[in-house]
Each structure stands twice: as structure tokens, then as C-alpha cells.
Chain A
Amino acid sequence: MKVAVIQFPGSNCDQDTLWALRLVGLKAEPVWHTERSLEGFQAAILPGGFSYGDYLRAGALAKFSPVMEAVRRLASGGYPVVGICNGFQVLTEAGLLPGALLANTNLHFTCKDVYLRVERTDLPHTTGYRPHQVLKMPIAHGEGRYYADAETLERLEQNRQVVFRYAPAPEEAEEGYNPNGSLHDIAGIVNEQGNVLGLMPHPERAVEGVLGSEDGLPFFVSLKQALEGIA
């Protein structure tokens, strides 16, 4: 079992994601965007960054990369596919996840720790969490405001496709915790099948105490256990 970390030109969290995957004992390899096959990989992560500079619209060009067809095939085969930050934007642009990520309501890039509530613990990415556990994790994005039409939002809620929601810090004020204006406080969603997941916060930046939080570690540990199940 091996995880592909897709490198688009301009990806910049690829090495951090590889580090986190290897930290939990997963085999992980970078895969350049021109590759057409993901043979030998049982999962793929689209990392954060600024693919193609994000000059047009975040993630808008990466969806045309040759590797995206292989990612699509992996996803339709039921294997775990994850998009983190820019990777989430790419997944929505590519139609693998519904909705879109718009400019933050503050209209600028924001990098800080936020808190998330885990809404699903039955997914290959989240079995390591307790139900409704509140996690501390950093965000670093300018376009992270999750948006979808009312009908789609309704469907996401009914199908329990919202996996992570921005939440107040433990023992803190009830207001002002949503950092970007996301509808329904959405920080991360999954597709109906439950294998393609996108999230704006960076679990790979929260895998060691020395970095300020270990709350991202169960994300990768869950993935490892799920992949061991596949193998």
C-alpha cells in the first residue's frame, strides 16, 4: 500500500504531506502532474500550494493536468483521495467534490490556528477521532469560504457529507470562530461514496507536538489503518 502525493507545478505542501505520511509509517511517493498512471498506489493526496500560481482561480488549471484522469479513476475505484487546501480547491474544480471555495470574507490570505469539530468518524480518514472531537489545526488560505447552492448544502447535510466544521475553541466565545465565512461552517466534506475528502485546514502541519498540535496525526493514522484493510 502506497500513497501518491500529487505534485502540480506550484504545489508547496507536497514535502510536508510526504513527511506526515511517512511519520505514521505509510509508504508515500511524489507523483509529478504529467504522469498518466497511478498504478501501484492505493490512495492519492492533492497537497496544498498555489498550483500554476493560482493566478486564474485557485485550482482552476490543475484540473486539466494529465494526472487528474488517473486520480479520477482511483476515486471511482473507491480508493481514498484527499485534497488539502489547494488540493480541496482542485477537487471541487475537477467536479470530484461539490461546491466551490471562494475568497475569504476578510478578502485576504489568513494563516492561524483554528478549531474544528469532527462530524464523521466512520470514514477511512477519520476513524482515529472521537465523535465531535474538537481539533486544533492551522489554516493558510485566501480562498477557503465553502460555498454551494441551497439544494447541494441540504444534500450534503442529509447525507452527512460534512466531515469537519469550524467550531469555537474549548472554553471560548461562541462567535467569530469561522475564519473565512464558509457556509454551514464547513471546513471539510466528503463525496457520497465516502472516499474522496477535501478540507481547507492542514492536518499535515499538526502531526507533532513541536509544531504546536498533534491533532492532525489521527487523520494519517486512520488512513494507514484503512489502507492496511485494503491490502
Chain B
Amino acid sequence: MEGTLPPLLQETGVPLHEYREIVRLLGREPNRLELYLFKVMWSEHCSYKNSRPLLRLLPKDGPAVLQGPGENAGVVDIGEGWAVAFKIESHNHPSAVEPVQGAATGVGGIIRDIMAMGARPIALLNSLRFGKLEGPEGNRTRFLVRGVVEGIAHYGNAIGVPTVGGEVYFHPDYQDNPLVNAMCVGLLRADELRRSRASLGRPVYYVGSKTGRDGIGGAAFASEELSEESESKRPSVQVGDPFMGKLTLEVTLEAIRQDLVEGVQDMGAAGLTSSLSEMAHKSGLGLELNLDLVPKREAGMNPLELMLSESQERMVLVPRAGREQDLEALAARYGLDAVPVAHTIAEPVFRVVAGGQTVAEVPTHALAEAPTYVREGRENPAIAAARAHDLSPLPLPQNLEETLLRLLASPNLCSRAPIFERYDHQVGTNTVLVPGKGDAAILRVKGTRRGIAVKVDANPRYSKLAPRLGAMHALAEAARNVSVVGARPLAYTDGLNCGNPETPEGYFELSETILGLAEASKALGLPVVSGNVSLYNEGPSYRIPPTPMVGVVGLLENLERRAEMGFRKAGELVVLVGSPEGHLSASEYLWVVHGQEAGSPPPLELAQEARAQAAIRELIEQVWVQTAHDVAEGGLAVALAEMCLPYGLGATLEVRSPARPDALLFGEAPSRILFTVEPARLQQAVRALEQRGLPHQILGQVGGDRLTLLLPKTRLEWRVAALRKAWATPLREVLP
């Protein structure tokens, strides 16, 4: 069949059945420009055509939700008239080809989404996945890590939004396809919330950088598999300019503060095409765009290039009637272009005019409503076999003290300071819990006692071996991290990174991931308010593990009542919520020490998870607990070591259980939290756990410069300085 495709279909890559649908919607053949408009608007990145039917399964409503999915970002109410806008977005394919600019523009793009809601961005987080650091592939991984970190730092530091948190994970399945997801959180007055809307007959202003030939067709590029030819798609990668970003940010927010605008829209993926046609569609109107008026960086750009350019730092603002001059003056003060390139019309069409001629005219709903697909999924049998693998003959390590040092020095558990020290994490003077100090970042809301906690998380090993359960773990753990600093989780944003949905295995992993998120959302009472899908993270010889990067935002009503993770007070007692015995299957220990990736992720009792989170929040709220930490990858021993590191204070602890020592030390299980409490408060704290039916053990006491662990048959001891040495250095080698 392929040989008989019309040349235009070969050129655009629009499949024949979609082309027929386009002809049906138009009632005629599209011209070349129109076909390209459909190509980008019907890409997965813009249309969610493979994921939309599945995403409908996620709960989207909750008492705090002011704006759910479908706008530039989600918004939740945090009280006293304040609200928080947040969203996560992927920039995977650009970062694979050109890591510095790919990551930088990922940051710039998500910042624009937040400011389009009328919010001042106050925090950035990022979730990164790379391949192996070891062996011959390590060189490329280092190149990518350095580039991505440089790009994030370049943009975030200069625009003045602190990067307060994130996570990075190394796994061979990301070797050819790194993941770069950026999350932004913004603060707004609830009554200044803006949406992508315009009323009839309004001029639509283009504000910000001029349009150039960069990033042409980026959204479509993001919705294809990476290949050898990807290198030649470097021009599809956008170029970021945080200085222009900062000016655009200030103009947009000032315009909203002065109430000059009725509607705001980021010009991001698919540039003019997507931002203007979607705004018109959401407003139930049409729109006429005059390309002659678009500010251009270079002469001779044709309509196709202008419509597909993804030049950065551009916004769409719709002024209120009579405030056009004020908007233009405001932009001029910052030296920015502000041009009424379009106006809304009653006829629901998206019309593009150039040189006095109509060069494209299509119904707005046709562009906005791509066909959706429900496919047949099938699990890769090799993964089912790995999950069922028998781990009972696993040998015990000879030296458990050395094993802990080895885990602390492994790429997924070692210190992240070499990365986060390159990010300005304090600009804005709101960062209360800086990276490395707690399980989630905390930002205060100036002028109130309130704070918000944010965390993004995903465990690709869990998701690889059991996509549904892995997604449940991702949400549970991100919410746990937010709870452990004392905040009540309000809602989340999800960055779903998966393989090709057109293959049965890719579709299976996508659908299972969303089903897992839906189940955990319902059980934990957490709605999703925004998100992003990045599919096609797959090539001829690989497919990434499904990677649902879940970003949870929580509220602290009283900032004074919070917890961080480091032991600070000698004499405090250490309590473990949950069982001391973890699972070795799918654990980081199994991978690092035994070189295996097998078995099922640990079971997750969502009801118990919710109770454990509520309990730790209550203990912090009562001011009985100021130190708490989630027991995650690496198990109990790694979690305890992590609590010794921030302040160099050790502890002497006893773990009573008949289980294998490696399962006690390094086994993983959800719903486990370590906290410290003064002896005088122990009884009250324990009662709160008993009331909720939570298993717990009092492990011992904080103090000294060593971590001592007494197991039924062994005594293990580490100097905190030795733990620090093992943990602090490995990533310095990558990022000196």
C-alpha cells in the first residue's frame, strides 16, 4: 500500500486513514499547509489520541480543585485566597538530540504554562532518566547528564525560578532514550486565575520573542520514535532564551495584575497553530490569523514555517476591550513585541491569511478533536517471566557492612548534591526545605503561615516489572514523601512516559499504568489536575520502562509544624512505622548487589498506605515529630543512613525479626516511615499509631557519630563519616 500513497502523505507521514478522515471533515482535499496543521494538531503530543480514552479513567475532582486537566496547568486552592498552579511536561526527544537546549526549553515551556494561568512560578522540579554510567555506554550517558543539568540550570537560574527538587534514575533501558520531565509550581490569587479564552471580535496579541526557523514541527517530532535520522532533526529542537523568558513572564503577570487581559495562552508545542486554534475552539469561536503581522526573526519565512515554528518565549494575550494601548505600552517598557496578529470571528473556522490570500481554512473543531484510538494490549512475555522469577536461592552477601556502603555509592542512591548545587534553589526566598534536607521540598507562602510541599517520583524498576502496581507505587510514594514533611497531599500532575502505543506491548504498558494510577488516586483521594503524555519512547531495539512521573502538591497550614529527614537531637527515639522486613524482589539491592531485575514489586495496601500517611501528618501536626523519612529504595538500612547524613548524627538501633538479614536491611516495602520522637512524647506517638492499627517498632535512640544496627545474630556498625564518604562522591565524577 505504501508505495501507492500520494506524495503529500509520504512527506507528512499522515496515515491514509487519518487523511480520509481529514477529507471527510473538510468536505474536500486539504492543501499542503492544511495537512501539516492536521499533522501537528493530531500528533499524540497535542491530541492525546491514544491516551485520551484511558485518561478519562483518572479522578479529576476534589474539594481543592479549581482547575482540572485541559488548560495550560491545573490549579488547586490552598486557602486565604491563594491558589497553586502546577504541571509536569516532558522534553525527552529534544533532550536526546541536543541535551542542553532540549532541557532548557523544557523548563521554559513549563514555566510559560504556569504563568498562562496567572500564576507566578515559584518552584521547578525535574525528573530525569538516563542509561548506564558504567562501561562503554557510560560516555554518552555522562554527555547527556552534563548537558541536561546544564540546560536546566541555564534556564531556571537565569529566569529566577528556584529548582527545589527532583529525582534522577539510571537504568540501562533509557540508554538510547533519556527522559527529561520538568514540573513547575506557581502561586496565584485565586481571583486572578486566567484561562485560554477570548470573546467575539477581540484582537488576539502575540507577545514576546520573534518567530524564527527553530523547532519546526517539534510536537510531531516528539510523537515519533527516535532513530538514526533523529540527529538530522536537530533543527526540530527549539532554542531557549531565559532572558526573553523573564521579560515575557513579567509582562504577562503584570498584564494580569493590572487586569488588562481576559485570556492568556502559552505558545508552546505546535506554536501559532496550536495556541490560536485551541484558544478559538475552547472559546466556541473561530479565529483569523494574519501571518504578515507576525514578528519574524528572518525574512522569507513561508506560511508553513511560521505555522510550525516552535520559537520559544512567545505568549498569546487577549486584552480586555479598551486596554489594548495599555498592553502595548507595558510590552514596550520591557522591549517586547506585542502585535494583534489575529482576531476572533463568529464562524468556527481557523483561517490563516498571508499576503492578502487565505492560505488555510479549517474548522476549529476538526483540528482540536483528533480521532482517538482504543487498541489491544498484550504483555511482553519476557516481563511476565521476569516477574515470576524465583528468588529463593539468592545467596547472602559476605559482608553486610560493605554492602550498605556499596548501595550508598550506587548511582540511584548516592548524593544528588553535584546536580542540585548547580541549580539556584533559593531565589525567591521561599524555599524552606532545600534539596537534600527532606523527602519533599517545602515553600512558604509569604504573608501567611502556610506552606506547600512538592515532590515528583517514579520507580521505573517497579513499573517495568509490573506497570499497574508500579504506577500505584509512584503515586503512593510521592504522596508519602509530601506527608512525611507534614503536608496534606491535595492533587497531582502526571508525566506519562511510555513506549509506542501502536504496539500491543506499548499499549499494554500505557493502559496498565493509567489503570494503576486510577486505582491509587481513588484509594488515596487524590485527583489529577494536569499532565502530559510522552509516548513513542521506543526504538527498533528497545522500549523504555513505563515511567509515570507523579508530581504531588500538598499543603501545610502551619509552616512551623513540619519535618525534615536528618537526625538532629541526640536522645530522641527512632520509631519505624510498618514491618522491618522488606521484599528483595524488584529491589535496588537485588540489582546492585546481585545484578538481577526480577520478581514483583512489593504489594501495596492502599488503605494502610493512607493510614500511615495520615498518622505521620498527625504526629507532625501535634509537634511531637520534627524528623521523619520514608523508607524507599535501598530499604531500612539506606533510609537510616540517609537520616544520619544531613547533620552527621548517628543512632544505635535494634531490629527484631526472624527474617533474612538482607531482607531486613535492604528489602523494600511501601507504607513504611521512620520518625524520631522525644522519650516524653513516645507514648502519645505510639498511641496514635495503635489507634490507626499501624504496625510499628521502637528501634532505638539517636546519638553519637556512628550508625549501629543490632540484628538478631549480628552487630553492624558504620562511622557516619564513612557512610558520607561512600555516598557523597560518585556523582562528583560525572559532574565535577
Contacts of A50 in B (CB 8 A): 157-158, 160, 242-243, 246
Which listed residue, B334, B423, B424, B434, touches A212 by the CB 8 Å rule?
B434
0 or 1 for each of B585-625: is its CB under 8 Å from A? (1 = yes) = 00000000000000000000000000000000000000000
Contact B428 A53 (CB under 8 A): no
Contacts of B160 in A (CB 8 A): 12-13, 49-50
Contacts of B559 in A (CB 8 A): 210
Does chain A have a CB within 8 A of B427? yes
Known: A9-B246, A109-B424, A110-B421. A19 touches B429 (CB 8 A): yes
Does chain A have a CB within 8 A of B713? no
Known: A112-B421, A210-B444. A10 touches B426 (CB 8 A): no
Query: Closest CB of chain A to B336's CB: distance in Å?
Result: 10
**How many angstroms from the CA of A204 to the CA of B150 in the assembled complex?**
26
Does chain A have a CB within 8 A of B282? no
Does chain B have a CB within 8 A of A16? yes
Contacts of A12 in B (CB 8 A): 158-160, 246, 427
Which listed residue, B246, B423, B429, B431, touches A10 by the CB 8 Å rule?
B246
Query: Closest CB of chain A to B613's CB: distance in Å?
Result: 24
Does chain A have a CB within 8 A of B201? no
Contacts of A9 in B (CB 8 A): 243, 246-247, 334-335
Please indicate which of the listed interface residues A16, A32, A106, A210 has the most CB atoms of chain B within 10 Å of its own CB.
A210
Contacts of B243 in A (CB 8 A): 9-10, 50, 52-53, 55
Contact B158 A140 (CB under 8 A): no
0 or 1 for each of B395-432: is its CB under 8 Å from A? (1 = yes) = 00000000000000000000001001111111111011
Contacts of B81 in A (CB 8 A): none
Contacts of A108 in B (CB 8 A): 150, 153, 422, 735
User: Which parts of A1-17 form the interface with B (CB within 8 Å)?
Assistant: 9-10, 12-13, 15-16
Does chain B have a CB within 8 A of A202? yes
Contacts of B333 in A (CB 8 A): 32
Q: Of all chain B residues, which has the CB nearest A54?
A: B158
* B interface residues (Cβ-Cβ under 8 A, vs A): 150, 153, 157-160, 241-244, 246-247, 333-335, 417, 420-429, 431-432, 434, 444, 446, 559, 735-736
Contact B422 A140 (CB under 8 A): no
**How many angstroms from the CA of A138 to the CA of B736 in the assembled complex?**
20
Q: A49-B160, A50-B160, A211-B432 are in contact. List 11 more A-B contacts (CB 8 A).
A: A10-B158, A12-B427, A55-B243, A108-B150, A109-B157, A109-B422, A110-B421, A111-B426, A140-B157, A202-B426, A210-B444
Query: Closest CB of chain B to A127's CB: distance in Å?
Result: 24
**How many angstroms from the CA of A104 to the CA of B662 in the assembled complex?**
44
Contact B429 A204 (CB under 8 A): yes
**Residue contacts A-B, CB under 8 angstroms, 10 given:** A12-B158, A19-B446, A32-B333, A48-B427, A52-B243, A54-B158, A108-B422, A109-B423, A109-B424, A140-B424
Q: Of all chain A residues, which has the CB nearest B432?
A: A210
Contact A211 B429 (CB under 8 A): yes
Q: Of all chain A residues, which has the CB nearest B161?
A: A12
**How many angstroms from the CA of A56 to the CA of B153 in the assembled complex?**
18
Query: Closest CB of chain B to A190's CB: distance in Å?
Result: 25
Contacts of A125 in B (CB 8 A): none
Contacts of A120 in B (CB 8 A): none
**How many angstroms from the CA of A212 to the CA of B432 in the assembled complex?**
7
Q: Of all chain B residues, which has the CB nearest A17?
A: B429
Does chain B have a CB within 8 A of A205? yes
The 6 closest A-B pairs by CB, nearest first: A12-B160, A53-B243, A50-B158, A16-B429, A140-B424, A111-B424
**How many angstroms from the CA of A54 to the CA of B150 in the assembled complex?**
16
Query: Closest CB of chain B to A117's CB: distance in Å?
Result: 22
**How many angstroms from the CA of A74 to the CA of B530 in the assembled complex?**
50
Contacts of A208 in B (CB 8 A): 429
**How many angstroms from the CA of A49 to the CA of B424 in the assembled complex?**
11
**How many angstroms from the CA of A112 to the CA of B333 in the assembled complex?**
34
**How many angstroms from the CA of A108 to the CA of B247 in the assembled complex?**
24
Q: Of all chain A residues, which has the CB nearest B158?
A: A50
Please indicate which of the listed interface residues B334, B424, B434 has the most CB atoms of chain A within 10 Å of its own CB.
B424
Contact A16 B335 (CB under 8 A): no
Which listed residue, B241, B334, B425, touches A111 by the CB 8 Å rule?
B425
Q: Of all chain A residues, which has the CB nearest B163?
A: A111
Query: Closest CB of chain A to B445's CB: distance in Å?
Result: 12
**How many angstroms from the CA of A52 to the CA of B243 in the assembled complex?**
6
Query: Closest CB of chain B to A82's CB: distance in Å?
Result: 17
0 or 1 for each of A4-48: is its CB under 8 Å from B? (1 = yes) = 000001101101100110000000000010000000000000001
**How many angstroms from the CA of A19 to the CA of B160 in the assembled complex?**
16
Q: Of all chain A residues, which has the CB nearest B428?
A: A16
Query: Closest CB of chain B to A105's CB: distance in Å?
Result: 11
Contact A111 B423 (CB under 8 A): yes
**How many angstroms from the CA of A112 to the CA of B149 in the assembled complex?**
16
Which listed residue, A16, A32, A53, A106, touches B158 by the CB 8 Å rule?
A53
Q: Of all chain A residues, which has the CB nearest B562?
A: A210
Query: Closest CB of chain B to A168's CB: distance in Å?
Result: 15
Contact B427 A140 (CB under 8 A): yes
Query: Closest CB of chain B to A62's CB: distance in Å?
Result: 12
Query: Closest CB of chain B to A208's CB: distance in Å?
Result: 8
Query: Closest CB of chain A to B149's CB: distance in Å?
Result: 9
**How many angstroms from the CA of A13 to the CA of B335 in the assembled complex?**
20
Contacts of B157 in A (CB 8 A): 50, 109, 111, 140, 142
Contacts of B429 in A (CB 8 A): 16, 19-20, 204-205, 207-208, 211
Contacts of A16 in B (CB 8 A): 427-429
Contacts of A48 in B (CB 8 A): 427
User: Which parts of A136-178 form the interface with B (CB within 8 Å)?
Assistant: 138, 140, 142
Query: Closest CB of chain B to A23's CB: distance in Å?
Result: 10
Query: Closest CB of chain A to B309's CB: distance in Å?
Result: 21
Contact A138 B153 (CB under 8 A): no
Query: Closest CB of chain B to A122's CB: distance in Å?
Result: 28
Contacts of A211 in B (CB 8 A): 426, 429, 431-432
**How many angstroms from the CA of A20 to the CA of B425 in the assembled complex?**
18
Contacts of B428 in A (CB 8 A): 15-16
0 or 1 for each of A201-217: is its CB under 8 Å from B? (1 = yes) = 01011011011100000
User: Which parts of A196-231 form the interface with B (CB within 8 Å)?
Assistant: 202, 204-205, 207-208, 210-212
Contacts of B444 in A (CB 8 A): 210
Contact A13 B427 (CB under 8 A): yes
Q: Of all chain B residues, which has the CB nearest A11?
A: B160
Known: A12-B160, A53-B243, A108-B153. A138 touches B422 (CB 8 A): no
Contacts of A49 in B (CB 8 A): 160
Query: Closest CB of chain B to A169's CB: distance in Å?
Result: 12
**How many angstroms from the CA of A109 to the CA of B417 in the assembled complex?**
13
**How many angstroms from the CA of A140 to the CA of B160 in the assembled complex?**
11
0 or 1 for each of A100-116: is its CB under 8 Å from B? (1 = yes) = 00000010111110000
**How many angstroms from the CA of A138 to the CA of B425 in the assembled complex?**
10
Q: Of all chain B residues, which has the CB nearest A34?
A: B333
Contact B432 A109 (CB under 8 A): no
Query: Closest CB of chain A to B58's CB: distance in Å?
Result: 35
Q: Of all chain B residues, which has the CB nearest A48?
A: B427
**How many angstroms from the CA of A155 to the CA of B423 in the assembled complex?**
35
**How many angstroms from the CA of A9 to the CA of B422 in the assembled complex?**
23
Query: Closest CB of chain B to A141's CB: distance in Å?
Result: 9
Which listed residue, B150, B159, B426, B735, touches A138 by the CB 8 Å rule?
B426
Q: Of all chain B residues, which has the CB nearest A13?
A: B427
Q: Of all chain A residues, which has the CB nearest B437?
A: A212
Query: Closest CB of chain A to B125's CB: distance in Å?
Result: 15
**How many angstroms from the CA of A13 to the CA of B153 in the assembled complex?**
16
Contacts of B432 in A (CB 8 A): 210-211
Query: Closest CB of chain B to A193's CB: distance in Å?
Result: 30
